[in-house]
Amino acid sequence: MFDLGRIAIVLVETSSPGNLGSVARVMKNMGLKRLILVDCQADLTEETRQRARGAHDLLEKAVRTNGLASALKSFHLSVATGSRPARWFERSLRPREMAAELKALTPGDQVAIVFGPERTGLTNEHLQYCHWQVKIPTAPAFPSLNLAHAVAILAYELSQGLSESPSKEGRELAELGQIEAFSQDLEECLKEIQFLKKQNPREIMMTLRQMLARAALDDRDIRILRGILRQWKWYSRANTHPGRDGG
């Protein structure tokens, strides 16, 4: 059976105290226990506690962080929610499809389901740190969902779709912190060779991050790639300053 403890609900810049309570309650209803609050703009008020009735423990144990990249660094897969079009995602999954895809992960892989601010949803700045995108089908005339309602729908599909999922042996994915560190090193190298002087350097880096996500890299893959970049830097500097290495 898929351990739901491997899944965290990540709320970015939440502004409504009531939503915090409602999210905690529906998470507990569906067996989810890990709540991460990124740059949270809401305090835990009496309204929060009333809406979280019976799930106060989730709020007390919630992890608070600054910045989405920092919040995701120990996870192996991050899933963006919302309807914002982002062409660098290979495809958009429905909630039930997402649950089915998660069954293919190995037992050690940790998953973050990311929800954006109530007013704007996830921005492109947030989306660059996500591997997959999940969209909840809604009426085209009124697609916007309340944050707690969106969490409820995805939590239900996860609890139902993964309840009888067998464990699978296989390689574990690299942590997102490792991939992000490599992405930053790669960006430095690309700037050094003036590749990112072209138009839309930020969009190029977002595309490269999605390419890395689709590659499903493991720890050894990342070590090899970072080794290539270290050699790249050494070679570049040795040829720019040949006297440094005794040449």
Chain centre distance of CA 34: 14
Q: Write out the two tokens for 134.
A: 């999940």
Q: Which of 106-120, 152-166, 178-192 has the highest mean pLDDT?
A: 106-120
Q: Residues 6 or more apart from 53 whose CB is under 8 A from it?
A: 21, 25
Q: Write out the two tokens for 87.
A: 């062409």
pLDDT over threshold 90, residue 44: yes
Buried b (16+ CB within 10 A) or exposed e, 49-65: bebbeebbebbeebeeb
Question: CA 61, CA 55: separation in Å to the nearest integer?
Answer: 10
Which is more confidently placed, 111 or 178? 111
Q: CA 94 → CA 82, 89, 115, 136, distances in Å? A: 11, 14, 15, 6
Please name the helix (run of DSSP H) or strand (run of DSSP E) that holds residue 202, with its range, or none: helix 201-214
Dump pLDDT digits (tens) for 77-99: 999 998 776 677 877 899 999 99
| 168 pLDDT tier (thresholds 50, 70, 90) | low
The domain spans of the chain are 4-161, 176-245
The edge-to-edge listing of strands for the beta sheet with 77-81 is 63-65, 34-38, 7-12, 111-115, 77-81, 132-134, 92-93
CATH for the stretch 176-245 = 1.10.8
Q: Which is nearest to 32 in space by CA: 9, 54, 52?
A: 9
CATH for the stretch 4-161 = 3.40.1280.10
Same fold, 4-161 and 176-245: no
CB 38 within 8 A of CB 11: yes
What angle, 0 to 180 degrees and rounded to 10, lies between the N-to-C axes of helices 95-102 and 147-161?
Answer: 40
pLDDT over threshold 90, residue 22: yes
For residues 158-179, average pLDDT: 75
Q: Write out the two tokens for 99.
A: 């649950």
pTM of the shown model = 0.78
Dump pLDDT digits (tens) for 124-148: 889 989 989 999 999 989 988 999 9
